Structure 1
């Protein structure tokens, strides 16, 4: 964990960064050992150290998680120059109450049978660590990079980067 932040502060900071990001990349390891990243819709729940997705039982992500539960979830908001990479352990969950809590009509596009579709699968990621980057704004970042290119000196004051153990 960062020396400057408690676990609770780290979780709150990550929650604030990712709260409005609609899609994340869920990276799994397939049976051949290759990494595979897939876009997933983020849930409208506040990050508390757990990440939830609704996936399909017949998807590559679910097959990969069955073989190796170690995953990475990445978020990016290029407009705000904020990025988060969360590592953790995924599990496949059957919990009707949780599914009802997370379900929205958006998922009808993916599941013909709606919430009762037998292919619906909850994916729970227990976050164990994260790294995040917060830029000071796109214009300032571009200025810093341009100045570095012109002077040949590394860019400085490019924002905040923290690695935290959750």
Structure 2
């Protein structure tokens, strides 16, 4: 764990740095029966400011769940770098042509055959209210610390950085 806490701005920058490097986020929603479901959505290339945008399908389970329960969790993982982020917040279904044009790329044609004009496109905006992130020293170094701790019977002396941030 980290001995020094980061400032709010430093934490936001760290979260943004981790998120930017992960192609897919796992978005956890609650369905009408109260069950939790996690689904991958594509991370947008944008600076993190406390909100995250996704492009989804109006007929998807994620959108149906958000209509029923707007509280979500968004998680990012880059195991090779030992970096993880978990964000909690409120999801909103948004109709905003300018934002769609800003986020759109030809990648989405695989999901929306009619392109940006596809009527099934749904923008999803998550306003994060809290976040937690973990950063290790990478797989090899972290594994070494854990292995040494297991052999000696002591707690691993350096497990990376962990911060919780209110947004």
- Regarding TM over 0.5, the answer is yes
Give 5+ residue unaligned stretches, structure 2.
none
Give 5+ residue unaligned stretches, structure 1.
none
The alignment's TM-score, normalised by the length of structure 2, stands at 0.94
The CA deviation string for residues 33-76 of structure 1, in whole angstroms up to 9 with x for no partner, is 11100001001111111100000000000000001000000001
The CA deviation string for residues 12-51 of structure 1, in whole angstroms up to 9 with x for no partner, is 1210111121111000001111110000100111111110
Which has the higher mean CA deviation after the structures are superposed, 57-66 or 135-144?
135-144
Structure 1 vs Structure 2 CA RMSD:
1.2
Tell me what 2:36 maps to: 35
Count, aligned residues: 164
Q: Distance in 1 between matches of 2:119 and 2:141?
A: 49
Tell me what 2:54 maps to: 53
User: Which runs of structure 2 are paired with 1:92-131 in the superposition (5 Å)?
Assistant: 92-131=93-132
Q: Distance in 1 between matches of 2:126 and 2:25?
A: 13
Tell me what 2:81 maps to: 80
Report how far residue 161 of structure 1 moved.
0.5
The alignment's TM-score, normalised by the length of structure 1, stands at 0.95
Tell me what 1:19 maps to: 20
Runs of 4 or more consecutive aligned structure 1 residues displaced over 6 Å after TM superposition: none
